[in-house]
Structures are given as structure tokens and as C-alpha cells.
Amino acid sequence: MFESETYVRVRYAETDRMGYVYYGNYSEYYEVGRVEALRQLGMSYREMEDSGIMLPVLSFSIKYYKPAYYDDLLRVKTIIAELPKTRIKFIYQIYNANNVLLNEGETTLVFVKIQTGKPCMAPEAFLQKLNPFFK
């Protein structure tokens, strides 16, 4: 299993009239976690696209437990629990500064060849970076 953590500070524009982070913004926080997880593995999303592979989102789910507020520093924990094949699943947990779990969710992305628009296997270079975490 591979785990990564990154931090996001809630901006005022991301809150609603109740002062809560608007629910739709969590998908962006998850994207920050996902991109930073790839970077921590030593492969940026940009490098993957430059090599001819894109990762469109196939599914997204989330469970909300508690709200986040303006100026909160959120810890985004991103987990890859299984080696990918043509799809990769990311699991997310977002905590506030008091280590309270605010929400958790999942996204499944598909490895797709940019030239053909067809699904493909995860790049070998990417799998080599992940393999040590699954031994």
C-alpha cells in the first residue's frame, strides 16, 4: 500500500453562506492529493501525459462527516491500496488541524492512450515506482 499526505488551506472563496467549505470543492482537494501522491512517487501527472498517457476520472464518491471552514489547514491523505492494471483507485481522507476526519472518498481513474483514446495498461515505469510498496 502506498500512502501520501499533503496540505491545503481553505480559501474564503471555497466556502458557502454557512461558512462551510462548499461540498463541490472537495473534488479539487482530492485532485491535489492525487497529483502530489504521484509526485511523491517520482512521477508527475505531466510526465505521464507527455509520455502519451492520460488519466480521466471514471468514478468519484465521497462521504461527509464534519465541515471544514475558511482558513482551516486540511491534511489530505491519499492511498493507493492495490497495484493498478488499466484502472487505478485512489482513496482519500481529509483531516482538520485537530486530526478530526472530515470526509473520505474514492476516485477511480483509467489509463488511456492519448493518441487512440483507448484504455491501456498502467505504464511499466509507473508500476516500477509502486512495486516496492506492495511487497
Domain ranges of the chain: 2-124
Q: Find where cell 465541515 sits.
A: 67
Residue 70 has pLDDT above 90, yes or no: yes
pLDDT digit string, tens, across residues 89-135? 999 999 999 999 999 999 999 999 999 999 999 999 999 999 999 98
The Cα–Cα gap between 53 and 45 comes to 9
Would you tell me how many other CB atoms lie within 10 Å of the CB of residue 64? 15
Residue 71 has pLDDT above 90, yes or no: yes
pLDDT digit string, tens, across residues 42-65? 988 899 999 999 999 999 999 999
16 catalytic residue (yes or no): yes
Dihedral pair phi/psi, residue 41, rounded to 5°: -75, -15
Among candidate residues 16, 50, 71, 72, the one labeled active-site is 16
88 contacts: CB under 8 Å, gap ≥ 6: 55, 80, 108, 109, 111, 122
The Cα–Cα gap between 67 and 83 comes to 32
Q: Which fold has domain 2-124?
A: Thiol Ester Dehydrase; Chain A (3.10.129)
The Cα–Cα gap between 36 and 133 comes to 17
76 near 27, Cβ under 8 Å?
no
